[in-house]
Homo-oligomer: A and B are copies of this chain.
């Protein structure tokens, strides 16, 4: 992609002082544009990042045997009424009336998926059911101030599973937890599994995946030696307490929630009559769980976690391009074309602007590898990684080899 053609380039305009770090860098870098408070357009650069995050999630979730599908975003009131959440989740849900019909926008999909499942699964042989989608969620956030971390509208992967027994649900629940940890590791995020409250989802405790981050809105108490970890909402320990599990010292830190998993048991199935016929021909309630990861929130988290004063430093697996190619006083078209031909994703800054501006924008955008073609570099190409100050001159083939290691 030629940078001169890209829609949504780096901006020099001054942004509001009180913007969160992730919003500041993502807006300045040309990844997103704010339509209104808590609502962002994914510009082509940001869209590429989110699509890469999506694909990493898809691959891991598919490995658990889950099937991808797509549920509607506009919901009829009657389905939400069955569990009482039309009332209890009123604050967070967008609800409205049109021509005497009442609707809600998807803030989650538990009721909708159960309505679907009870029409399609009847016998124990139809279970377990593991279905998911990537879709839009809407939540009424009066104070949407954390950029991509908290939106009125955002993208989420939500997975739902139904089982014929507690044991079977438990097994899959922890399989998904493992899968989540793998997803976050691939994104360079060291997520902790945290015991937490269930909000408008359940009265039981749930599990969140939290990443320690100074600017995070959450706070967790954790043990560095074992896996004990609690959200401050439900914490039974304080900093410097002894870990109730292993006796080590409890620490605390701000954090960002990057995923959550909810075990509902038969709570919702009972309210919505989701039964199956067991092996003895007896009707039983199905056991239900749901699992969420916010995609756009993950992009925000990565920007919040991986940046320096100059801009974002993307993990290579989700960088919008693998290579940022810069031409200085000399046309780099040939190198650009060769790289594209060799299957490398290249953002090629071919603009007629100063080298300084090109370097500044490259640092802001945060692609892992920067290549410079100039009179100075001669037949060679200057290679520099975003995370390092070292610049080396390489032949084209050496560049190609080195890119593969990033």
Confirm or deny: A96 has a beta carbon within 8 angstroms of a beta carbon on chain B: yes
Q: Name A70's contact: one of B7, B47, B65, B121 (CB within 8 Å).
A: B47
Q: Name A35's contact: one of B76, B131, B136 (CB within 8 Å).
A: B76
A74-B39, A74-B153 known; A68+B94 contact, CB < 8 A:
no
Is the Cβ of A120 less than 8 Å from the Cβ of B33? yes
- CB neighbours (8 Å) of A43 from chain B are 69, 120
A33-B120, A129-B7 known; A69+B42 contact, CB < 8 A:
yes
- CB neighbours (8 Å) of A96 from chain B are 94-98
- CB neighbours (8 Å) of A163 from chain B are none
Q: How many copies does the complex hold?
A: 2
- CB neighbours (8 Å) of A153 from chain B are 72-74
Interface residue stretch chosen among A111-119, A240-248, A276-284, A286-294: A111-119
Distance to closest chain B CB from A33 (angstroms): 6
Confirm or deny: A25 has a beta carbon within 8 angstroms of a beta carbon on chain B: no
Q: Enumerate A279-331 residues with CB–CB distance to B below 8 Å.
A: none
Is the Cβ of A7 less than 8 Å from the Cβ of B73? no
Q: Select from chain B the residue with minimum beta-carbon distance to A50.
A: B70
Distance to closest chain B CB from A114 (angstroms): 12
Is the Cβ of B99 less than 8 Å from the Cβ of A41? no
Measured in the bound complex, the distance between the Cα atoms of B33 and A138 in whole Å is: 22
- CB neighbours (8 Å) of A253 from chain B are none
Measured in the bound complex, the distance between the Cα atoms of B129 and A43 in whole Å is: 13
- CB neighbours (8 Å) of A40 from chain B are 72
A120-B8, A120-B33 known; A41+B138 contact, CB < 8 A:
no
Is the Cβ of A35 less than 8 Å from the Cβ of B69? no
Q: Enumerate A1-23 residues with CB–CB distance to B below 8 Å.
A: 4-9
Is the Cβ of A67 less than 8 Å from the Cβ of B115? no
Is the Cβ of B115 less than 8 Å from the Cβ of A72? no
Distance to closest chain B CB from A219 (angstroms): 27
Q: Select from chain B the residue with minimum beta-carbon distance to A125.
A: B4
Measured in the bound complex, the distance between the Cα atoms of B142 and A142 in whole Å is: 32
Measured in the bound complex, the distance between the Cα atoms of B94 and A174 in whole Å is: 41
Confirm or deny: A263 has a beta carbon within 8 angstroms of a beta carbon on chain B: no
Confirm or deny: A105 has a beta carbon within 8 angstroms of a beta carbon on chain B: yes
